[in-house]
């Protein structure tokens, strides 16, 4: 998949205000500060298209990026330990769930996990929730730099063992690094495949 054009189309607080056309969408979710914006920038070959910050919780709306005038990349608010009040966390959680449950043109959601950290309970809960609601998804281990190769593999194996206990068919799992572009072509190829299948 080659990137020819990108545009930020909208930033909204509700799925009901998101673009109303039927172009396929791929959504990016995960704990705050897991690297969603960095990954989107790397996939789209831009440095600051999606906002990047060392402070968690900077993505507070549903951002739609139109790619090649054919599909949307959707950057969703993070969950977990963002330094925000309880009411904000509840609002962001509802925003995230409502989008995932009510966007019929969403082809897949990418659940991002930090490769340097052992699988967290909150991520496993999100995986179970996605499965219970029959939402198509894939898992992306971020920050899988060469220097973290061993620990990333350890956490990949730990996740695989956990999922095999409950899942008859494993979701796709990708390993990526925004620093050396590891895995970017694999993710882009997968996006192309699932969005084309949605159109057929």
Q: What is the structure's pLDDT at 134? A: 94
Whether the Cβ atoms of residue 64 and residue 16 lie closer than 8 Å to each other: no
Residue 33 Ramachandran class (φ > 0 left, ψ -120 to 50 alpha, else beta) = left
Whether the Cβ atoms of residue 176 and residue 141 lie closer than 8 Å to each other: yes
Q: Is residue 124 part of a domain?
A: yes
Question: What are residue 66's DSSP bridge partners?
Answer: 7, 72
Position 22 pLDDT exceeds 80: yes
Q: How far out from the chain centre does Cα 44 lie?
A: 14
Position 25 pLDDT exceeds 90: yes
Q: Number of structural domains, the chain? A: 1
Q: Is residue 38 part of a domain?
A: yes
Q: Is residue 155 part of a domain?
A: yes
Whether the Cβ atoms of residue 174 and residue 139 lie closer than 8 Å to each other: yes
DSSP structural state of residue 171: P
Q: How far out from the chain centre does Cα 99 lie?
A: 13
Q: What is the structure's pLDDT at 85? A: 60
Question: pTM of the predicted model, to two decimals?
Answer: 0.90
| Phi and psi, residue 54, nearest 5° | -75, -15
Q: Note the pLDDT tens digit of each residue in 152-170.
A: 999 999 999 999 998 989 9
CATH of the domain at 138: 3.40.50.300
Position 52 pLDDT exceeds 80: no
Q: Is residue 1 part of a domain?
A: no
Q: Is residue 91 part of a domain?
A: yes
Q: What is the structure's pLDDT at 191? A: 97
Q: What is the structure's pLDDT at 161? A: 95
Q: Which domain holds residue 63?
A: 6-199
Whether the Cβ atoms of residue 9 and residue 55 lie closer than 8 Å to each other: no
If you average pLDDT over residues 113-133, what whole number do you get?
93
What Rg value do the Cα atoms of the chain yield, rounded?
16
Instruction: Give the confidence band of 53 by pLDDT, cuts at 50, 70, 90.
Output: very low
Instruction: Give the confidence band of 117 by pLDDT, cuts at 50, 70, 90.
Output: very high
Structure tokens at 94: 């509802």
Q: Note the pLDDT tens digit of each residue in 59-114.
A: 578 999 999 999 999 999 887 655 556 666 667 678 889 999 999 999 999 999 99
Whether the Cβ atoms of residue 78 and residue 88 lie closer than 8 Å to each other: no
């Amino acid at each position: 998949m080659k990137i020819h054009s990108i545009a930020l189309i909208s930033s909204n607080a509700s799925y009901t205000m998101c673009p109303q056309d039927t172009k396929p969408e791929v959504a990016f979710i995960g704990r705050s500060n897991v690297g969603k914006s960095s990954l989107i920038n790397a996939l789209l070959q831009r440095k600051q298209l999606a906002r990047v910050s060392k402070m968690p919780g900077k993505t507070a709306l549903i951002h739609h990026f139109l790619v090649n005038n054919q599909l949307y990349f959707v950057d969703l608010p993070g969950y977990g330990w963002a330094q925000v009040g309880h009411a904000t966390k509840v609002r962001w959680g509802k925003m995230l769930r409502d989008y995932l449950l009510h966007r019929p043109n969403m082809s897949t959601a990418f659940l991002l996990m930090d490769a340097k950290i052992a699988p967290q309970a909150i991520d496993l809960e999100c995986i179970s929730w996605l499965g219970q609601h029959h939402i198509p998804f894939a898992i992306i281990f971020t920050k899988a730099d060469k220097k973290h190769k061993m620990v990333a593999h350890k956490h990949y194996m730990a996740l695989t063992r956990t999922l095999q206990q409950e899942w008859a068919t494993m979701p796709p799992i990708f390993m990526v690094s925004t620093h050396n572009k590891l895995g970017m072509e694999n993710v882009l190829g997968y996006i192309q495949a699932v969005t084309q299948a949605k159109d057929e």
